[in-house]
Structure 1
Amino acid sequence: MSAQDKPQYSEPVYTTAVDRARYPFYIPNIEKKLVPETRELLEKYSHIPLEQQSEHVHKIRDQAWQIRAYPCTGVGAWLVPQLCKLPIYPEILRRVNAGETFVDIGCFVGHDLRRLAYDGAPSNNLYGVDIVSHWDVGYEMFRDHDRFRATFIEADILSDAPALMLLKGKIDILSVTQVLHQWDWDAQVKVAKVLTTFTKPGSLIVGNQIGNPNAQEVTLKSVSVPMWRHNPASFEKFWAQVGNETGTKWEVQCWMRSFQEMSWDSKDGAWMEEGVGIIEFVVKQV
């Protein structure tokens, strides 16, 4: 296969680098990320005794790291509940219980999907989409292969994969957590415009990503690709542009969180720029 024939993926090059262990976002001990909510999920949903959980999650993290060198994997951020911390989570749970469809873009091991299932959502209404599969690692993480019925689609969200095409215009709730921040402004707009093709009036797009009170483009030494950091004002402007370019209209709620508020450690962001934090969002098509 020639270089020009190779598929062009939307994930950053650094995630597939060979010498992954040199990255500053691999933290050997991630036990602090085993917050009470996660311990409860592993104990009551996955039936993993408390005393075995630390060894278990470190084993799972290293399996995932061998697939992709994502910062969230290295620091164990995926162990801390995120979707269920959104103020709108009760509405999300109610809507999925009523039969609406929930899709997690960049689902990783399906941790947010498991939280929905644990909280009573029927897993056959859940979808996970990711550019590379950590799905089997997720089954090993949560030990629920016999009862978790979510559908997984391995595809680049920017592709025309047939399984994705079947979802166009049909999704009620899209979760996009720790995904959009991988790119600069223009690339984020491109991805968001694709996301809107899956929605309809009343649909929600929810999630979070790395942000900064000082909205700016950054290029970090360890990642070496330009990324746009949103603050609430820039995020509203961003969705106004997406709406204008797609003929859709969006109501935007968003707010900044510190790493400490997210139950992460401040050192998790030490390799990034000054002032870095998390921007959470709920965007509704009207």
Structure 2
Amino acid sequence: MPTFRILSFVLVLLAAASAWGASAVGEHKLRIVASNYPLAYFAERLAGPWATVTLPAPADVDPAYWRPDAKAVGAMQKADLILLNGADYEKWLAHVALPRLKLVDTSAGFRDRFIRIESAVVHSHGPAGQHSHEGTAFTTWLDFDQAAQQAEAVAKALITKRPELKTAVLDGLKTLHADLAALDGELKRITAAKPGLPLMASHPVYQYLARRYGLNLKSVHWEPGEMPPETEWTGLDKTLARHPAKTMLWEGRPAAAVAEELSARGIASAVFDPCANRPESGSFLAVMRQNIENLKTSFQRR
């Protein structure tokens, strides 16, 4: 048989084998459940078409205060991987039975860097009812170096579960790391321009952001859609007397009346969305880029 015909035959076999392999992977996609959107985003970028990633918390609920029902627990039990934020984020975990070998604690690698919160105020937070932020600060991903470590934990779990995807996962991790490093570098550049600039936060969820990027931040316990009572405004005025902030960070856009009251005190409102749940549009990366632009405006304000 002529050499070129042998070569053609081999190429046909290789193509067939490749097609079969792709089909096999497609028919056996990894089923991944993530406890919040940042982890879901990392998994989607790293696993690509080889996985189905589910975020079970409803769109209008903060995943940190969500509790899985029997259906959600059943879906997690059937999953191949269950991605956990850790840092006491999944308070429901002790009350459900899940296969330990499927659990991936993505923040375990920097457990010694967790921030403890003492004497937190009890308050309401949407449909989840009353709660406090006492315990461990859990928005770990707002330190983009820690976010990169969480992405690495996701990648390691994917490769352990599907070694044949190692090259694709590591390629995805490289680009994801580059994106997170760019966010990290930009925030460091912005905050270095005015070290110690006083800032307020509407909610105590920015502890890791403040530590990583040197923010001089004090928090109240306000919700974007609710007008704080007069006692809260009095407390804010007392805080401003010793901490003359000109910007308050919000998880979401505050009600117009609240923003107007703040503006009358010389305080601008800037959204820095932790993006714990899937946004209505865009991605985790897009939301964080917009957050940084919003914060940049605060540091450029005279």
TM-score range, shorter chain: 0.3 to 0.5
TM-score, structure 2 length as denominator? Answer: 0.34
TM-score, structure 1 length as denominator? Answer: 0.35
Bigger radius of gyration among the two: 2
Kindly indicate which of the two structures has a greater share of residues assigned to helix: 2
